[in-house]
Each structure stands twice: as C-alpha cells, then as structure tokens.
A and B are shown apart, each in its own frame.
Chain A
Amino acid sequence: MAEELIAFASKGDMLAKSKEFWNPSKTQFWVDSGVPLVIDRREGYFIYDVEGKRLIDTHLNGGTYNLGHRNPEVVAAVTAAMQHFDIGNHHFPSLARTALSEALVSTGPPGIAKVVFGSGGAEAIDIALKTARHATKRRKIVSVAKAYHGHTGLAVATGDERFSTLFLADRPDEFGHVPFNDLAAMEQALRGKDVAAVIMETIPATYGFPLPAPGYLAGVKRLCEAHGALYIADEVQTGLMRTGELWAISKHGVVPDILVTGKGISGGMYPISAVLVSEAAAGWLSEDGFAHMSSFGGAELGCVAALKTLEITCRPEVRSMVHYSAALIGDGCRKIQALYPGWFVGIRQDGLVMGLEFDHPKGAQFVMRRLYEAGVWAIFSTLDPRVLQYKPGVLITPALCEELLDRTEQAIGLAARDARSGRTQP
C-alpha cells in the first residue's frame, strides 16, 4: 500500500480530518457514544482499532461479514479473479455473471427464473420495485412502518421518514406504510388492487428485529395473491444462512415473487447485490433488457466473490454450525437475562439474527458503549434504540461463542448500573 497516502500524526489528527473532510456529525457521534472506533486490521470475526483494541464483530455490517472479515477462501477467489477479470462490461453476457445467476436460481425459492444485479442493496431494491411496477402496471408500493430498505430514490421512500424527509424524498402518495404484524392493516392497504408490491424484510433489522408473528408473512403473501400485488422479500440482512436456512423467508412457508440479496452475498470483499425474479415478474428482461443499466451492477469480480460465498454458505456443515451456535448463544443470552431480569427484558431470536431488548428508551446505546469497552462491537437499532442488534457470524466457533457470552454478560451488567444511575444519555 502506498502508505504515504494514508498517514496521520495520531488517531486524534485522523478524527479531526475525518470531521473536516468527510462527515462531521457521524464522526462526532461515535466519539460521543463511547465507540471511538477507527478500524484497522480485520480478520475473521475480529476487528482491530488503529490503537490495537480487539473487538468481536457482532454487527458485521448487517451481515456483510457473515463469513468473517477477509474470509481466506473468498480472498483467494477474488485475488485469483483479479488476474483475469475486472468489473467487466455490463452490456455483455459474462462467464462469472452467468454462473452466479444460475447458482442463485438453483438455490433460490421455487419459481425464481432470472437474476438482475446491482452494486448495492438499495439499488437492488429499486430494481425489485421497478420490476414489480412493470409486471403489474401498478405504481403503489406498500411497506411496514419503521421499515428500512436503503437510501436510493425508491428504496428510501419505502422506509421510515427518518431518512427520507430530510432529502424531500418521501412519497406518501405512492408509498404506503402499514403497521408490522397487522394483517388487517395490510388488507386495507391492498384492497384497492392498485398496489404493485409489498416489500418486507423478513425480520426488520433497523427496527430491532421485531419477529413476524407466526403466520403473518404467509398471511401477507396470501393477501398479495388475492389483490394482485407481488411479494418482495428483502433478505439482505436475514438471508445467507443467518436464520439456519439460506433464505429466512423459507421458514415462513412463503415463496416470494422477488427476493433481494446484498451485503453478505459477496463476503464483504467486493460490492454486489442481486434481485431474484420469478418468471412471471421478469417480463421486462425479455421486452427490453436495456431498460435498467448499471455500470457496476454484476461486476465480474463481485460475481466471483459471490459464487464462492454462496458455495461456502450452502455447505451442509455450515447450516449445521449455525444451528449449533444459535442454540448456544440463545441459551447463553437467556442465562444472562436471568441475571438482569428488570433490565435485559427481551430476546428476539431467529437463528443468529438476534435483537436484545433493554428497559430504557436508549438501552441498547448504554449496552453498546459497555460492550465496546468489553471488546465487542454491536450496534443499537436506529429505529428502536431500546434494542441491540446482536448478530454473530455463521462460522463462529464454540470457543468464540463462549468468549462472546462472557464479555456480553459483563457489559450488560455494567450497562444496567449506568442506566439505573439516573443517566438519561448513554
């Protein structure tokens, strides 16, 4: 690396310049939150601050690092691919893109027939929504309140106003929001038969992983069918074996019309996202394949990374490991909960997708700070700061699970004391 290009006198100097040249409020936020993290080395499920502090990563950027940071197999695949490929030309058929498409179709929900690629999750959501609008010739999109599907033009309009109104990007006339786990409200929204698609994260991540009530998602799918809307499963955070199945939606008996994946699909080594589309919804690809274009969408290096990631993820050994680690960490969290019953008030868990609830409006921010001190990086839920997102990686070992639980117990206990000392801010 050209070290002279990345050199700072000190961490303080670097943070000052980060505020000056990059993002002042975000840089300051983490310092104020007790997470003055500047990630340096990274390896497996560990990240190291520039000052050497080691953290177990249970944020994983929403699952981007499901297989660990710089997974050696993915690194090897991308390194080898760089001797032959670059991003490629999105206009032409490509070896890697075709292979990845076939692999995604063959492992995807029944009925999935085509794959469209983007370079990030939000772009993929936009593609999914445009695809649904083309297929249904309807304009309206329904999502749940407090939803989050990314920040591009259409995606941001599906989400909470936290991210849209600032940029005048909310579009209430076309994008309806209904309460989560409320089938009656969903039916109300679809009854007009003018909705192109319902888009659902299988477990809404940024809202703190509230779990869909048993039967809720299947009910939504039935309503979609009854009212001519498509069901779009946003599996960016819940997919790729995090719940013990490749796609979490499969655990709900739902076969989506469109499935969106991103983040972890390329092992955190090269950005790529993908939209899996059923034959019935994929009409525009035959009608006018140039209608959506993306220079970096389906970049070939990303395709190679994704193929390797998918192969690793689909190993039967990995599915088994997730079932083991989910059980161990779930049991461990329940034991911790028993130690702090009035503080640690809830565990939302589906496999390795976990939301830990604390009895304070900003409870997870208290815990996040203490976890950071204790050597664990976990993030609060932006749209419900009571809830800590706790997402260990799918390849986590038994020993690291135990270490993680030890550190977590300590941090939750200290955070309980902080919160009860009368402090209102973490």
Chain B
Amino acid sequence: MTAPARPAGPAAEASEAISFEVLSDPAGVPRARAMLQRAEWAARAFARYDKQATDRVLHAAAQAGAAHAREYAEWAVRETGFGVADHKVIKNTACSTGLVEAYATHDYVTPRFDPAAKIVEIPRPAGVVLALTPSTNPVASVFFKALLALMTRNAVVISPHPQAAECCADAARTLERAAVAAGAPDGVIQVVDRPSVPLIDALMTDERTSVIVATGGSPVVRAAYSSGTPAIGVGPGNVPVLVDATADLAKAAKRIVDSKSFDNSILCTSESVLIVEEPAAATLLRHLKREGAHLLEPDEAAGVGALLFPGGHFDVRFVGKDAPSIAAEAGLRVPGTTRVLLAPFGMAVPEEPLAHEKLCPVLGLVQVPNAGRGIDVARAVLRIAGRGHSAAIHSTDPRTIMDFGASVDVLRVSVNAGNSLGSSGISTALAPSMTVGTGFFGRSSLTENLEPRHLVQWTRMAYNAEADEAMANFSGLVPWETPAGPVPPYPIASNAAGEGRGPGGYLGADRTPRPGTPLPHVTSEARLGAGTDVAALREEIRRVVIEELAQFAGGFRG
C-alpha cells in the first residue's frame, strides 16, 4: 500500500491518472467482511421466522428465479462461453420452483415432538452459509444454494466462480429482491461481485461464516476443508456407465446420448466412459448412432484425446463445446447433427487421456468380455478420478446391478437412467441437487446429495426416561413468529412513531449514492480503473479459473 510515483513532469500530466493506492483495496476483503456481518444480522432475525413467513419468502424467491430461468441461462452461456441455453433453462427451473415443489412437504422450521421418546426437537439454522458456486452450473447453483438457505432460514453469501460472476451476481440479487419484498430480512442473500483468492480465503476463515458449501474444483474444496470452518465440500466426478447384454439397448442408447449431450456435458454427473459388454456392443453402437453419437476410428479417437489433453491436462477451451466443433478442431468431418463423439480406447489407465473426465460431449468407449470385467473397468475409471461421485448402469439383471453398486466406489448409481439428471435427482428419486456429496471415498463430509436438512441443526430436549416423568403438552406452541413489518424496521425517531414517515436520505439526488452504489472516489473499482492492480487482479482470477478447471479435468500426470 504505497502511493505510486506521481507523473514525472508536465508531459505526463495529460495521460497519466493520479491515484493514491491507500484507498484502493483490490481484493475487496473489508467489504466482504461487512457482508458477513450484515448476513449475521439477517441470519439472527431469520432464525425466528415461522413456517408461514419462511414459505412466503421461499416461494417468492423461487418464482423470481423461475421467471428469469431463460434470461440467466442465456446470460450464463454468453458469459462463460459454454453450455447449452435450453438445457440451462431446465436446470434453472429445476433448481427454483422445481426444488420448492420437491420439498413442498418438508418442514425445517416447526418443532417436532416424539411423545413416546419424550423428545422435543427444535430446528436451529446454521446461520451464515458461504456458498461457492462453479462456472459449469453457475446460475442453477446460485438458485439451488440460495433456496436451500431460505428453506432453512439461513442467510447466504454467495461467491460465484469468477468466470460466471456477472450472471450469478445478478441472479442472486433477483432472488434477494424478491425474498426481501416477501418479508425476508435485509441481507438474507448477498453476493460477491469480484471474487478472488484472498477474498474467498477471508470469507472462508471468518468466524461469522457458519458453514461453507463448496462446489468447484479440488483446490477450492480442499481450501474450504482447511479453513477451520465447518464445510460441506464435494469432489469431482468421472462417471463410468456400464451397459450389459440384459439391458434394453435402444433405451440405453437414447438415455446415454441425451445425458452426455445435456448442456454439452458440463455437469459433473455427465457420463465419461461407456463400458459395454461385447455381446451387446454391435447393437448398442447401432442404436447410439441413431441417437446422434458418432463413432470415431481408433486413430481419430487418439487424435481427439491428444487434442483435449495437450500435455496431459484438459484444455479448458473445450469445456461445454458442442461435438461438431470439437471434431472440426481435430480435423474430422462428422455430420452436423452429431451430439456425442464416441471415442474407443483399450485400457482405463492413468496415461489414457480418454479415461479422464471430459467436460465436453466426448464419451470414452471400452468393450469388455463380460459384466464382471465391466465392473473392474468402472473401478479403474474411478481410480483415475471421481471416487465417491456417481456412476450409471443399464441392465435388467439384479445380480449385476447389485455387484456394480457394491463394488464401484461411488455413492450413487443411476439405474437405467441418464446420469446427468439421474444422479442429480432430477430424473430419479434422489434428492434434487446441484451438489453431489462424494463422501469419504471422495474426501468429503457429505455422502448424499446436498439437501436442506444439511443446513439445519436441531436442539433436542430430552425428558428424563423415568416412567413417572411425563412430557409436557406442547401442542400449539411455536417459538417463532411472522415479523410485523420489514426486517429490520426503518429507524424512525421514537417521537415520530405512527407518523408514517418514510426513509430519509437524499436518495432522489443523482449525486448521492444509493444503497449499493459505492462512493466514486473510494471504491476499488474506481481506483483500479487506471492502476496496475487491474492486471494483478485479472491474473489472480485467471489463476483460479485455470486451477479449478484443470482439476475438473484432472491431470493424468499427477
């Protein structure tokens, strides 16, 4: 924090901006800490809301999210440069109104009573949730985590992936406006505009953060777990899918291609390697072709593998790109309607690029003599990356399905379903989730799909077990209430209560900052406009992006 050199002489005057760095704060850390303190206030207030008031807030936010599902889908594709807008609309809707419908009968607010055990359970929210959201499912993750927080009466501070920061920030604010208009406490949803490594570190280690919910690359997840703050972090996927000879091959082919091409395969639940029992291979390949999968020749597949993994690391340029453009880049001619490139290879081993997670519609293909060997290969795929995440099987043989689930190191298996939407609970009865717990296999504290209940703790009041000690009658008692007005109330002078006075502030004057509009002179943004810090910040963001995406892909040299 030293002042940069002044312009050297008159000649420098016109072009060089005069700035004084004392007032700039490239990382925005103090502002982020202020957000946490505001969130702490909001959480404190929200924790006393009753079910009715909570539901009103939740529904308003969800509806606002759904109403903008397409706008944010398109924005996310535009900003990140990958994915399929139509598919993001599905995810955005599933993670807004869809989520609320899925949990319509759940109650994380009202106390529970167990007269037989003489136990009263009172739900107590976590407090301030720090949500780190990825670039691959940017807005859907913002919706998902914000609504989970609202269901459970938590305040949430969202730190989006830098590559998707703008659409995420806007989406978070849309939800916040709707929530507050429906009675939520001010500051219940906040978002970091310019995430950076020091800023995320400050948020994660701040004692006002009650729990971190981290979705992203391994560095982010590991940092969350190292922060000393309770954390729910989930690891990457690398999804094997086994098709045996008992499967309905036509349906299997359709489900696999639909799933693999969904959002151009940027979900962590997208199939990575297709393992097929040899007797079924020819038929399955015929059906796959009909669904839009293009089978590459072995040398073509090797070429695509080399293209995607230059130097052994996934090239992030290909994240979420469609199949024909990847083929074109590899110098291959494929039909324009191609949805998936099928890339055969021999062994699922670390030095085989095609056995790694590919966040694009390239599906590795391995043929095996029988289902038992298929399970071995699925295990091999997960040794490379993705332990604890998810897998899929297409089969009608209960013994094979059971063996698969008991042997493959994942915590969810989609059966006769595409895994993209299957393991995320959208096309199965698993909990609908953008955050797939990878459990102890995958170095996570979460073994299931993230659900609202993971953000609530319960105070259990247990009566003396002696038979003559009766539990009191709590019927009709609810410790929470619906706030009478805005939270917090506007601070009206005590002698003016009932005068109906509105807020003060010189808000009508153009020159006066409104809430949310920082001072022109003293914001990091203004100061960064001319300084060299911009470059440093950009570099930092670039580093985060690359680190994270590299981890998505997994380097096969390390």
List residues of A whose CB falls within 8 A of some B CB. Answer: 73, 76-77, 80-81, 83-84, 95-96, 99-100, 102-103, 105-110, 211-214, 243-248, 250-253, 255, 304, 307-308, 310-312, 314-327, 330, 347-351, 395, 397-398
Contacts and interface: CB of A to CB of B under 8 A. Distances in A.
Interface string B24-53: 000000110011011011101100000000
A318 B45 CA distance: 16
A346 to B, nearest CB: 9
A248 B506 CA distance: 10
A68 to B, nearest CB: 12
B386 to A, nearest CB: 39
Interface stretch (B87-95, B492-500, B528-536): B492-500
Given A211-B494, A307-B23, 17 more contacts: A80-B3, A84-B2, A106-B519, A107-B519, A250-B504, A251-B501, A251-B504, A311-B518, A312-B30, A317-B31, A317-B37, A317-B38, A322-B491, A324-B44, A348-B495, A350-B494, A351-B491
B104 interface: no
Contacts of B23: 77, 99, 304, 307-308, 311
Given A106-B512, A398-B44, A95 B20 contact: yes
B520 interface: yes
Contacts of B40: 397-398
A308 B522 CA distance: 7
B506 to A, nearest CB: 5
B176 to A, nearest CB: 12
A165 to B, nearest CB: 32
22 contacts: A80-B3, A95-B18, A103-B519, A106-B511, A106-B519, A108-B506, A108-B512, A109-B509, A214-B496, A243-B493, A244-B490, A244-B504, A251-B503, A255-B506, A307-B23, A311-B518, A314-B513, A317-B187, A323-B186, A327-B489, A349-B493, A350-B491
Contacts of B67: none
Interface in B107-127: none
Given A213-B495, A250-B505, A310-B522, A107 B512 contact: yes
Given A110-B511, A251-B493, A321 B518 contact: no
B1 interface: yes
Interface in B11-27: 18, 20-23
B346 interface: no
B304 to A, nearest CB: 49
A211 B1 contact: no
Interface in B456-494: 488-494
Count chain A CB atoms within 10 A of each CB in B490, B508, B522 and give the residue with the most: B522
Given A103-B522, A110-B509, A250-B505, A319 B20 contact: no
Contact of A77 (B22, B34, B492, B519): B22
B518 A315 contact: yes
Count chain A CB atoms within 10 A of each CB in B20, B40, B45 and give the residue with the most: B20
A319 B1 CA distance: 27
A250 B522 CA distance: 23
A100 B519 CA distance: 11
A308 B31 CA distance: 12
A323 B491 contact: yes
A150 B130 CA distance: 47
A214 B501 contact: yes
Interface residues of B, number: 49
Interface of B: 1-3, 18, 20-23, 30-31, 34-35, 37-38, 40-42, 44-45, 186-187, 488-496, 499, 501, 503-506, 508-509, 511-513, 515-516, 518-523
B519 A311 contact: yes
A251 B496 CA distance: 11
A108 B41 CA distance: 28
A315 B509 contact: no
Contact of B45 (A73, A109, A252, A324): A324
A327 B31 contact: no
B30 A73 contact: yes
Given A103-B519, A304-B22, A315 B31 contact: yes
A252 B35 CA distance: 29
Contacts of B492: 350
Q: Which 9 A-B pairs have the closest CB atoms?
A: A251-B504, A311-B522, A317-B34, A244-B491, A316-B515, A110-B509, A324-B41, A350-B493, A80-B1
A99 B269 CA distance: 52
A108 B505 CA distance: 10
Contacts of B503: 245, 251
Nearest to A318: B34
Contacts of A330: 494
Given A95-B20, A214-B495, A348-B495, A314 B519 contact: yes
Count chain B CB atoms within 10 A of each CB in A76, A81, A312, A320 and give the residue with the most: A320
Nearest to B521: A103
Contact of A243 (B34, B35, B491, B523): B491
Nearest to A326: B491
A358 to B, nearest CB: 16
Contacts of A327: 488-489, 491
A94 B516 CA distance: 29
A178 B44 CA distance: 45
Nearest to A112: B511
B504 A245 contact: yes
Given A211-B495, A251-B504, A323-B489, A398 B518 contact: no
Nearest to B4: A84
A330 B491 CA distance: 10
A310 B521 CA distance: 10
A399 B38 CA distance: 13
A246 B507 CA distance: 11
A250 B488 CA distance: 19
A253 B507 CA distance: 11
Contacts of B20: 84, 95-96, 99, 304
Contacts of A213: 495
Given A106-B513, A251-B504, A83 B3 contact: yes
Contacts of A244: 490-491, 504
A89 to B, nearest CB: 16
